[in-house]
Structure 1
Amino acid sequence: QPDRLNLFWYFGLRAPLQFSEMATMMYISLSWAGFLTLLSARNDGPFWTSPPGAHLLCAFAFSVTATALIGGLLKADAISFWACPVGHMGVTLLYNLAMFLALDLVKVLSNRLL
């Protein structure tokens, strides 16, 4: 019986992942988290107080889409890169968005204290 707080089990994703699928999921998570951090770090207040410019928005859309396509479709045995199941990518995206909001709140509160 897995931990009650396991998000994958919570969303009904009970099939075990191969090591290379987990590595791909980590690649997806790091790519999305990095870009979300860039959106948060642009200003001192909440991320929505200053909308991103057109170039940054296009780069964000391209990066998220390219990462999802590479992580969800590419299978390369030579480098142990197997596609991550779509459901797991969705949970990874939800987790990254939740952490983005939490870290943005921490940023705003710490800036108020300084």
Structure 2
Amino acid sequence: MVYLTLASAILAEVLGTTAMKYSDGFTRLWPSLGTAAGYLVAFALLAQTLKTMGVGTAYAIWSGAGTAAIAAIGMVFLGEPVTALKILGLLLVVAGVVVLNLGGLH
């Protein structure tokens, strides 16, 4: 159940960050409200996750997975350039999250 809560926190953070892109510097109301709502939900769910998971592992997974997802969304849907270094960086972030997750199982 803790991983479902953490995954939901990641999804909320990704949605909030994506809405921030469309808020045009917080000058557009609905995307700005979407950003605030996404981050509010993300932090609430992350706080619930921290009740049963170590802070280092939970935060590393939350921030790493969110960073990788946002970078991928930028490249796939928002027309950001795809380079070999960006792909390598994404793979390293994902590998780091996996290693920290495996280390958190002990």
Distance apart, 1:92 and its partner CA:
1.2
Once the two structures are superposed, the pairs formed by residues 85-96 of structure 1 within 5 Å of their partners are 85-93=54-62, 94-96=64-66
Name the residue aligned to 1:67: 45
User: Hey, which bits of structure 1, 4+ residues long, moved more than 6 A?
Assistant: none
Unaligned segments of structure 2, at least 5 residues: 81-106
Unmatched 5+ stretches in structure 1: 1-22, 74-82
- CA shift, 1:57, in A, is 3.3
Aligned length: 75
- 1:72 Cα deviation from its structure 2 partner: 0.8
Larger helix percent:
2
After superposition, the Cα gap between the structure-2 partners of 1:25 and 1:66, relative to the gap in structure 1 and judged at 3 Å, is: same
TM-score (structure 2 length as normaliser): 0.52
Identity of aligned residues (%): 9
Query: Residue by residue, what CA displacement relative to the aligned partner does 1:64-86 show, whole Å, maximum 9, x if unpaired?
Result: 2211111111xxxxxxxxx1211
Change (3 A) 1:105 1:51: farther
Any conservation in 2 of the 1:29–1:96 contact (CA below 8 Å)? Answer: no
Alpha carbons 2:12, 2:39 under 8 Å: kept: no
Q: Which has the larger radius of gyration?
A: 1
